[in-house]
């Protein structure tokens, strides 16, 4: 058969792959697709997409699975380049699966991705609140209080007796998985049940009125995000809304949270620092006795699309690889977990501006930001480190941990995945 | 750039022969075409760009006892150990000192071509690590646990597992078993079994008659006559129940004089207790705090051990039971449009996950496991498709029906469209077409238009049937038209893809 020009293009692209499409090759293809999109080269884009489509499979090996999500994100991006009447509601996400609380409990323990942060943070919190009889935790996280049962359990066994515990969560959280099929109130109710069972005096509050998210697509997403940001600053980080008390230890827990705060310079004339920094300063003003911050260790807030794709691909293979080691290819929990990561991939690759809410910065950069904003880091003690080690020993042996400056970092086969840090404001009054 | 790839090929070939081969091409990692060497340094996937990348052969990696004593033939994993052993034979021995000079950092790649760790950017940092990895992943699982029959390729893994297997088990009241305490605690905190236990502590025997409505007056009756669904309240004064802004701890509903705003609380109880209606807002789970028939189901789950284990391990089946408990919503769920308000959205997602997951699993068993499609095969197919300009539409194959049902479309996207398309393409392999690409990667990257063939055949890949006209956006408009406008075509095409009859039916229902 006569070789068509198309095959010569593709053969060029695939030449280096030597008969097998490994991660390196797929990454190249993804980048070709991205640059084709950037330069409006439809022909090349569709050709590469065609090849990627043949590689992709959500139930294949980790590379194939990752590819399927990346490809989907690229297609999603294309559809935003040229909006049609059908996708006016540009920010709408597909119907996401909602979990029950018990499903979520299992989900966070599938791999130590979340549990690592929980363990390190809870241990640091436990140490920091020694001597206090009242604790107030402001929980800013996306995992719906899954962190707290183990802390409550530890506090219950405190030799001097448990402190009374108050947990506050904002009534709004970023619209990202994991999603629950019950309200925060219900979650708090169950937590309260458990605390009672453990004889720990407990109170749960959902803070603030929900910012009115308009259903009409006419309001710009810019307005949406500023509404939420205002809500966070003015209602959540508000001493009177929080009902702060002097004899209470205030703990602020940020887990996979700060990345959703915009980091560009504010448009206001007088503002010179970003929303994220303003947020941190407001936290400082509340005079917490400890701030625990956990997030993923990757630099994903880059304006250049091809850099984002590379970084994203070279980072998110980690959870895919980890899941592969012990769950079968058609395991539904695995597929769902990966789908949630796919949601993140889509936001990072398909969206821009205020719609791209995933603005993750690396642990190192974040630590520098904290220092710049007047916090100093609380080192994790040996006890914490051994607790975390013990935890990781109970999981697959690819998981490890290392100390990097101020951070404890979860590693998979030596690659950084999640970092955990603890901070106090400089000049904290005990 | 071609030079990079040549290096890769050299490294790959070298592993086929000999025991060990080292290539000191540190920066061989897959690099974005436009990045500079400096940029590679920051790639998260590449811990140390100056590291020496070493590829050992499978034989080396699997060998456990390379160092053998010449006297008694006892094998050791490390030379140091052998030397220490030789002392016992009164042989001259010498421990090799660690060289004082700086040893270059080494990273190891897996020799297995298809393995993710074959890529230098995924190299592992230590020799033991790569050996263990190779053994686990590509080796035979010769070690088997006696108690649970789990198999391991690495002896130390097997030992580690045997130590803990069956020794530490935490059992929740619902019957689920945990080997880790933290997962047990977390589960326990949110488990329905705990909610029930606190409800039982109220010393109430009879379960109330299930009422499926959510009217306030009826619920008041329910709340007052039946065991309160929420927190276990012992005789201790209500002061012990720290009351919050929301009715978390309120057991008595309107009857408790200490609680001020009664109506909101009832509303709260409404949404919590009556899960059968799938009402807007909070709980739609039948195993919520409610002491209505939902707890009947919950206790059904709790009592029988088989279903209890089902509950933990196969959540989709539990959801199915719960969906059944919500009769009117479950069946309509899957077919309904996804633009409904929140209440049905909750049910929709639940429904989708029930049927979607199960359906996906069934369908994915049907087609043969996907062969790793080689680059060569793809080339052949690309040539075939491009030249023949068949009806196969790229984006139809994705199963993108329209953006209105894009949500559902996207949900199926991952499960169906890609799979069936690839499966049918996989069937067309092995045509024996020669593959020799003339143009290089560089040409491709530069994207010189001269490289591209007549556009009409290319565009037919999308089934656009028109020349690539106009400016940049013109091309994309065409692309998007095929996505958006391909409604009927896509649905029809979807129906023809094998093994997806079920879903395409629903698709068409939604799309039309």
Integer Cα distance of B50 and B120 in angstroms: 12
pLDDT in tens, A177-216: 999 999 999 999 999 999 999 999 999 999 987 655 555 5
User: Which of A118, A193, A307 lies nearest to residue B231, judging by beta carbons?
Assistant: A193
Q: What pLDDT, in 10s, does the model give residues A239-264?
A: 989 999 989 999 999 999 999 998 87
pLDDT given for residue A217 in this prediction = 52
Question: pLDDT grade, residue B184 (50/70/90)?
Answer: very high
Residues of B in contact with A150 (CB under 8 A): 182, 185-186
Give pLDDT tens digits for B351-372: 333 333 333 333 333 333 344 5
Q: How far apart are CA B484 and CA B478, in angstroms?
A: 10
Cβ pairs A/B, distance under 8 A = 445
Across chain B, what does the average pLDDT equal? 50
* Highest mean predicted confidence (pLDDT) among B158-162, B245-249, B357-361, B476-480: B158-162
B509 vs A212, higher pLDDT: A212
Tell me the Cα Rg of chain A.
Answer: 23
Q: Which residue from A208, A136, A204 is spatially nearest to A171, judged by alpha carbons?
A: A208
| Distance from C-alpha of B275 to C-alpha of B254, rounded to nearest angstrom | 20
CA distance B370 to B364: 10
B112 lies within 8 A of chain A by CB: no
B365 touches chain A (CB under 8 A): yes
Do residues B285 and B322 lie in contact, with contact meaning Cβ atoms separated by under 8 Å?
Answer: yes
Which pLDDT score is estimated for A271? Answer: 53
Q: Does residue B177 lie within any of the structural domains?
A: yes
What residues in A contact B43, CB-CB < 8 Å? 310-311, 314
CB A195 within 8 A of CB B295: no
Q: Would you tell me how many other CB atoms lie within 10 Å of the CB of residue B72? A: 11
Task: Give the span between the Cα atoms of A226 and A208, in whole angstroms.
Answer: 16
Q: Is the pLDDT of residue A326 over 90?
A: no
Residues 4-43 of B with CB under 8 A from A: 4-5, 8-9, 12, 29-30, 32-35, 42-43
Inside any domain, residue B127: yes
pLDDT at B195: 76
Do A79 and A351 meet the contact criterion of CB atoms below 8 Å apart? no
The DSSP letter of residue B207 is P
Question: If you average pLDDT over each of A19-28, A217-226, A374-383, B168-177, which comes out highest?
Answer: A374-383
Q: Answer yes or no: is pLDDT of A143 > 90.
A: yes
Place of tokens 């109506």: B263
The DSSP call for residue A394 is: T
Taking the Cβ of residue B228 and every Cβ of chain A, the question of whether any pair is shorter than 8 Å is answered with: no
Helix (H) or strand (E) holding B259: none
Q: What is the mean pLDDT of residues B214-234?
A: 38
pLDDT of residue B127: 76
Q: Please name every residue paired with A135 in a beta bridge, in sequence order, or none if there are none.
A: A165, A249
Confidence of residue A15 (pLDDT cuts 50, 70, 90): low
Inspect the interface and report whether the beta carbons of A8 and B198 lie closer than 8 Å.
no
Highest mean pLDDT among B100-114, B340-354, B484-498: B100-114
Candidates B27, B32, B33, B176: best to mutate against A (most CBs of A within 10 A) is: B32
Residues B121 and B60 both lie in one domain? yes
Q: What residues contact A314, with CB distance under 8 A and at least 6 apart?
A: A27, B43, B44, B45, B46, B121
A271 to chain B nearest CA, in Å?
31
Q: What is the mean pLDDT of residues A275-290?
A: 94
pLDDT tens column, A92-137: 445 678 999 999 999 999 999 999 999 999 999 999 999 999 999 9
DSSP SS3 for B63: coil
- What secondary structure does DSSP assign to B361-373, as a single string? HHHHHSSPPPP--
pLDDT tens digits for A367-416? Answer: 999 999 999 999 999 999 999 999 998 887 789 999 998 899 999 998 99
Predicted pLDDT of residue A200: 96
Helix (H, G, I), strand (E, B) or coil at B435: coil
Same domain? For B61 and B120 the reply is yes
Question: B382 vs A47: CB contact, 8 Å cut-off?
Answer: yes
- Put simply, whether B349 touches A (Cβ < 8 Å) is yes
B54 plus B135 within the same structural domain: yes
Q: Look up the CATH superfamily of A99-211+220-263+270-297+363-379+418-423.
A: Vaccinia Virus protein VP39 (3.40.50.150)
**Residues B447-468: tens digit of each pLDDT:** 333 333 333 333 333 333 333 3
Q: Would you state the pLDDT for residue A427?
A: 79
ipTM metric = 0.89
The reply to whether B310 falls in a domain is no
Q: Find chain B residues with C-beta within 8 A of A309's C-beta.
A: 32
Question: In the prediction, which pLDDT does B484 show?
Answer: 40
Number of domains in chain B: 2
Q: Is the pLDDT of residue B12 over 70?
A: no
Measured between beta carbons, which residues in chain B are less than 8 angstroms from residue A60?
370
**Is it the case that residue B300 has pLDDT exceeding 50?**
no
Most confident range, picked from A273-287, B124-138, B414-428: A273-287
Both B108 and B186 in one domain: the answer is no
- Kindly report, residue by residue over A43-97, the tens digit of the pLDDT: 888 888 888 988 888 898 898 999 999 999 998 888 876 655 444 444 444 567 8
Indicate the helix (H) or strand (E) that contains B322: helix B315-325
Of A17, A60, A101, the CB nearest to B370: A60
Give the closest of B32, B418, B452 to A53, CB-based. B418
Chain A partners of B112 at a C-beta cutoff of 8 Å? Answer: none
What pLDDT is attached to residue B122?
A: 81
**pLDDT tops 50 at residue A23:** yes
Asked whether the predicted pLDDT for residue A343 surpasses 60, the reply is yes
Write out chain B residues lying below 8 Å of A311, CB-based.
43-44
Long-range contacts of B369-373 (CB under 8 A, 24+ apart): B370/A57, B370/A60, B370/A64, B370/B419, B370/B422, B370/B423, B370/B426, B371/B426, B371/B429, B372/A20, B372/A21, B372/A61, B372/B114, B373/A21, B373/A54, B373/A55, B373/B422, B373/B426, B373/B429
Question: With an 8 Å Cβ cutoff, are B246 and A206 in contact?
Answer: yes
Residue in chain A lying closest to B365 (CA): A330
Question: Considering only alpha carbons, which residue of chain A is nearest residue B487?
Answer: A86
* Calpha distance A180→B268 (Å, rounded): 17
Measured between its terminal Cα atoms, the distance across chain A in Å is 80
Q: Which domain holds residue B71?
A: 50-90+103-140
Residue A94 confidence (pLDDT): 56
- Tell whether the model's pLDDT for residue A18 goes beyond 70: no
Measured in whole angstroms, how far is the alpha carbon of residue A63 from the centre of its chain? 22
The predicted structure's pLDDT at residue A210: 64
**Residue range B325-348: average pLDDT?**
38
Provide the percentage of residues in chain A whose pLDDT is more than 70: 85
**Cα angle A69, A75, A80; round to 5:** 125
pLDDT of residue B28: 39
pLDDT band of residue B158 (cuts 50, 70, 90) is: confident
Q: Which whole number is the average pLDDT over B474-495?
A: 41
What is the residue-averaged pLDDT of chain A?
A: 86
Q: Which residue has the higher pLDDT, B393 or A388?
A: A388
Cα–Cα dist B90/B87, whole Å: 5
Secondary structure element (H or E) that encloses residue B440, with its range? none
User: CB distance from B371 to chain A under 8 Å?
Assistant: no
Q: With contact defined as beta carbons under 8 Å apart, do A347 and A356 qualify?
A: yes
Q: Is it the case that residue A224 has pLDDT exceeding 50? A: yes
Of the candidates B295, B481, B459, B471, the residue with the CA atom closest to the CA atom of residue B385: B459
Domain assignment present for B62: yes
The residue that leads in pLDDT, B416 or B150, is: B150
| A357/A350 Cα distance (integer angstroms) | 11
Greatest distance between any 2 Cα atoms in chain A: 84
Q: What is the pTM of this model?
A: 0.59
For residue B124, the 8-state DSSP code is B
pLDDT tens-digit map of B399-436: 433 333 333 333 333 333 333 333 333 333 322 223 33
- Please indicate, yes or no, whether residues B58 and B136 belong to a single structural domain of this protein: yes
Q: Which chain A residues are Cβ-neighbours of B378 within 8 angstroms?
A: 10, 14, 21, 51, 54
Task: Specify the pLDDT at position B461.
Answer: 38
With cut-offs at 50, 70 and 90, classify the pLDDT of residue A342. very high
C-alpha torsion sign, points A230, A231, A232, A235? positive
The token pair at A180 is 């629950």
Instruction: Out of A265-269, A353-357, B153-157, B423-427, give the one with best mean pLDDT.
Output: A353-357
pLDDT for B169: 81
What distance in Å separates residue A32's CA from the closest CA in chain B?
A: 7
Burial class of residue B262, CB neighbours in 10 A (0-12, 13-18, 19+): middle
Contacts of B506 by beta carbon, 8 Å cutoff, 6+ apart = B334, B335, B408
Q: Give the number of other CB atoms < 10 A from CB of residue A180.
A: 22
Task: Give A185's contacts in chain B (Cβ within 8 Å).
Answer: 246, 248, 268, 282
- Alpha-carbon distance of A424 to B9, in angstroms, equals 52
pLDDT, greater one: A132 or B78:
A132
Q: How confident is the model at residue B116 (pLDDT cuts 50, 70, 90)?
A: confident
The domains of chain A are located at 21-91+302-348, 99-211+220-263+270-297+363-379+418-423
Report the pLDDT value the prediction gives residue A118, as an integer from 0 to 100: 97
More confident residue, B499 or B54: B54
Q: Alpha carbon of B466 to those of A184, A420, B469, B474: distances in Å?
A: 53, 54, 8, 11
CA distance B504 to chain A (A): 18
Interface of B with A in 50-109 (CB under 8 A): none
From chain A, pick out residues whose CB is under 8 angstroms from the CB of B248: 185, 188-189, 192, 203-204
> Does the pLDDT at position B469 exceed 80?
no
């Amino acid at each position: 058969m006569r070789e068509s020009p198309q095959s010569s293009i593709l053969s060029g692209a695939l030449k280096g792959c030597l008969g097998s499409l490994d991660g390196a090759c797929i990454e190249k293809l993804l980048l070709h697709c991205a640059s084709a999109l950037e330069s409006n080269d439809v022909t090349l884009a569709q050709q590469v997409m065609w090849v990627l489509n043949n590689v992709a499979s959500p139930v294949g090996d980790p590379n194939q699975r990752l590819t399927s999500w990346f490809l989907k994100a690229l297609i999603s991006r294309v559809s935003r380049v040229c909006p049609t009447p059908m996708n006016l509601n540009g920010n709408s996400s597909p119907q996401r699966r909602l979990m029950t609380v018990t499903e979520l409990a299992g989900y966070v323990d599938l791999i130590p991705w979340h549990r690592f942060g929980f363990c390190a943070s809870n241990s640091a919190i436990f140490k920091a609140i020694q001597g206090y009889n009242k604790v107030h935790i402001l929980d800013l996280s996306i995992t719906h209080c899954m962190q707290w049962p183990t802390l409550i359990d530890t506090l219950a066994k405190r030799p001097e007796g448990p402190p009374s515990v108050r947990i506050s969560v904002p009534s709004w959280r970023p619209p990202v998985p994991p999603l629950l099929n019950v309200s925060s109130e219900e979650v708090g109710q169950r937590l309260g049940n458990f605390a009672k069972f453990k004889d720990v005096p407990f109170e749960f509050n959902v803070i603030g009125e929900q910012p009115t998210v308009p259903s009409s697509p006419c309001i710009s997403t810019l307005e949406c995000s500023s509404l939420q940001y205002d809500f966070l600053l003015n209602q959540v980080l508000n001493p009177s809304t929080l009902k702060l008390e002097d004899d209470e230890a205030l703990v602020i827990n940020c887990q996979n949270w700060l990345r959703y705060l915009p980091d560009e310079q504010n448009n206001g004339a007088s503002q010179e620092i970003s929303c994220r920094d303003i947020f941190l300063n407001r936290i400082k003003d509340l005079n917490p006795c400890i701030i625990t911050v956990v997030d993923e260790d990757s630099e994903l807030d880059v304006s250049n699309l091809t850099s984002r794709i590379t970084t994203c691909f070279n980072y998110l293979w980690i959870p895919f690889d980890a899941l592969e080691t012990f769950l079968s290819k058609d395991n539904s929990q695995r597929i769902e977990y990966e789908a949630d990561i796919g949601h993140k991939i889509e936001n990072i690759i398909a969206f821009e501006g205020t719609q791209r809410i995933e603005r993750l910065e690396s642990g190192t950069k974040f630590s520098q930001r904290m220092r710049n904003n007047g916090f100093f880091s609380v080192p994790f003690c040996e006890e914490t480190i051994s607790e975390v080690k013990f935890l990781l020993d109970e999981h697959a042996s690819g998981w490890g941990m290392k100390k990097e400056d101020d951070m404890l970092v979860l590693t998979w086969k030596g690659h950084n995945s999640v970092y955990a840090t603890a901070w106090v404001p400089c000049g904290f009054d005990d | 750039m071609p030079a990079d790839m040549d290096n890769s090929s050299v490294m790959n070939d070298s592993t086929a022969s000999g025991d060990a081969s080292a290539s000191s091409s540190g920066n061989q990692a897959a690099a974005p075409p436009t990045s500079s060497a400096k940029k590679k340094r920051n790639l998260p996937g590449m811990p140390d760009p100056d590291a020496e990348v070493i590829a050992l052969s499978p034989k080396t990696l699997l060998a456990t006892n390379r160092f053998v004593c010449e006297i008694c033939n006892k094998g050791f994993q490390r030379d140091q150990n052998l030397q220490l052993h030789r002392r016992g034979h009164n042989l001259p021995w010498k421990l090799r000192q660690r060289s004082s000079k700086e040893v270059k950092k080494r990273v190891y790649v897996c020799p297995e071509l298809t393995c993710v760790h074959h890529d230098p950017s995924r190299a592992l940092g230590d020799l033991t690590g790569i050996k263990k990895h190779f053994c686990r992943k590509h080796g035979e699982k010769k070690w088997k646990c006696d108690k649970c029959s789990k198999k391991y390729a690495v002896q130390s893994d097997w030992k580690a597992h045997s130590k803990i297997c069956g020794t530490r088990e935490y059992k929740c009241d619902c019957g689920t078993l945990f080997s880790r305490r933290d997962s047990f605690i977390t589960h326990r905190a949110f488990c329905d079994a705990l909610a029930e236990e606190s409800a039982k502590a109220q010393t109430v025997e009879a379960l109330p008659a299930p009422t499926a409505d959510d009217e306030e007056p009826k619920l008041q009756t329910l709340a007052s006559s039946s065991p309160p669904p929420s927190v276990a309240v012992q005789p201790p004064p209500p002061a012990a129940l720290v009351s919050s802004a929301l009715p978390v701890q309120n057991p008595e509903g309107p009857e408790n004089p200490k609680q001020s705003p009664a109506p909101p609380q009832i509303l709260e109880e409404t949404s919590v207790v009556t899960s059968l209606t799938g009402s807007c807002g909070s709980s739609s789970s039948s195993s919520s705090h409610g002491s209505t028939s939902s707890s009947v189901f919950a206790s059904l789950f709790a009592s029988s051990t088989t279903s209890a284990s089902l509950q933990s391990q196969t959540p989709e089946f539990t959801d199915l039971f719960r969906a059944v408990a919500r009769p009117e919503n479950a069946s309509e769920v899957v077919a309904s449009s996804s633009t409904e308000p929140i209440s049905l959205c909750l049910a929709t997602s639940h429904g989708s996950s029930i049927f979607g997951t199960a359906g996906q699993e069934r369908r994915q068993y049907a087609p043969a496991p996907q062969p790793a499609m080689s680059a060569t095969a793809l080339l052949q197919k690309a040539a075939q498709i491009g030249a023949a300009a068949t009806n196969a539409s790229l984006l139809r194959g994705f199963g993108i029906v329209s953006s209105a049902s894009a949500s559902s479309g996207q949900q199926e996207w991952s499960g169906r469209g890609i799979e069936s398309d690839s499966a049918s393409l996989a069937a067309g392999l092995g045509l024996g077409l020669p593959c020799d690409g003339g143009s290089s990667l560089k040409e491709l990257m530069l994207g010189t238009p001269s490289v591209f063939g007549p556009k009409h055949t290319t565009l037919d890949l999308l089934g656009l049937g028109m020349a690539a006209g106009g400016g940049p956006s013109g091309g994309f408009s065409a692309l998007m038209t095929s996505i958006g406008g391909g409604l009927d075509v896509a649905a029809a095409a979807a129906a023809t893809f094998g093994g997806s009859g079920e879903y395409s039916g629903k698709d068409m229902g939604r799309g039309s």
